[in-house]
Amino acid sequence: MKVLVTGANGFIGSNIVKRLLDDDCEVNVLVRKSSDLKFLENLSVNYFFGDITQPATIEPAVADVEKVFHVAGLAADWGSYEVFKKVNYKGTINVAEAADRAGVKRFVFVSTVAFHGFGKTNMTEDSSVGQNLIPYAKTKYMAEQWLWDFAQNAKMKIAAVRPGNVYGINDRTFISKYIDVLLKGKFAEINKGKSKTCPVYIENLVDIVLLVSKENNAVNNVYIATDGLDITWHEFNSTLASKLGIELPKTSIPYGLAIAVAKMYNGVHKFTKLKSAPFLTPYRINNGGKDYHFSIAKLQNHFGYKPAIDLDEALNRTVKWYRDDRE
């Protein structure tokens, strides 16, 4: 079976590619010529150089493809709304329309839980959309809503997955930087890490993505994807620190102070029109300082899903990758 993975050179995409190759799929990857392709080194994939914001470059990549895994997107908590809209919203439209025209049978969209906002526990796929969304979350929500409208008349079957806080192998966006700070002893929790969080280990996420690409009752459905843990940041941090062989720093910052500082950084960057991301953002403080927790009951009810890799083993594998990557 021939498949296409967009964003294949990134954290999530590269892990999906490796699993598909293990399953004996022929894998097309759509990547920009300027992309760092390290995560795809020595993998037998078909390279198509293009950009999801340029429709003409997508057509060759979807030719004779049975399934598309649309992972490509701009994931950040800082930046221009117009840029996020161009990549996450219009880019999704471009890929979906090209795939449907090419006769693709199944389209899986990797969305996000971020547009549900913060301050709640056990949120579900039907939970309300948060207020004052960052451009990333807003444009991913727009893309998902467009897809459900498109699905009503499309020939291909569409499903979506909303991952929680993804971490693991090839994660240079979150976990590698997080461990860096821990090892340097410059780490601080917010409100002593009492807020609930929503980790999903990358290999478990890939299981979910492939599951919804195969099952018939996943069609026209979206699934929240976490490891289903009832866990606080402090519990996650303590377990990670133990795997690293260090004591978790005891420094804790009150939420009110942390969010005030983050808003100050945001304000300065906006006023001075700096292009670099602020050291702190309200999104990061809310992620660590407010409950941000989801139910995977829908996954469990539809498929009897249970994460294959538990937290202990997931962090063992993550730490091993981190150390190997630093060598």
Among 21, 211, 4, 1, residue whose Cα is nearest residue 100: 4
Q: What is the pLDDT of residues 57-89, one digit of tens each?
A: 999 999 999 999 999 999 999 889 999 999 999
Q: Is the dihedral of CA 124, 128, 133, 136 positive or negative?
A: positive
Residue range 39-46: mean pLDDT, rounded: 96
Q: What is the pLDDT of residues 287-304, one digit of tens each?
A: 999 999 999 999 999 999
Q: For residue 130, which amino acid is it? A: G
SS (H, E, C) 152-171: CCCCCEEEEEEECEEECCCC
Q: What is the pLDDT of residues 163-198, one digit of tens each?
A: 999 999 999 989 999 999 999 998 999 999 999 999
The span from the first CA to the last CA of the chain, in angstroms, equals: 36
> pLDDT-based confidence at 268, cuts 50/70/90?
confident
Query: Whole-prediction pTM value?
Result: 0.96
Residue 271's pLDDT is what? 64
What distance in Å separates the CA atoms of residue 5 and residue 200, rounded to the nearest whole number?
Answer: 20
> pLDDT-based confidence at 145, cuts 50/70/90?
very high
Partner residues linked to 5 by β-bridges: 29, 69
Write down all domains in the chain, each with its CATH number in brackets. 2-170+199-228+293-308 (3.40.50.720)
Residue 78's pLDDT is what? 84
Q: Is 177 exposed, middle or buried (0-12, 13-18, 19+ CB in 10 A)?
A: exposed
* DSSP-assigned letters across all residues of 6-38: ETTTSHHHHHHHHHHHHTT-EEEEEE-TTS--G
**pLDDT for 18 beyond 70:** yes
Residue 326's pLDDT is what? 85
> Are the beta carbons of 290 and 119 closer than 8 angstroms?
yes
**C-alpha R_g of the chain:** 19
The position carrying tokens 């021939």 is 2
What distance in Å separates the CA atoms of residue 239 and residue 182, rounded to the nearest whole number?
Answer: 12
Q: For residue 113, which amino acid is it? A: V
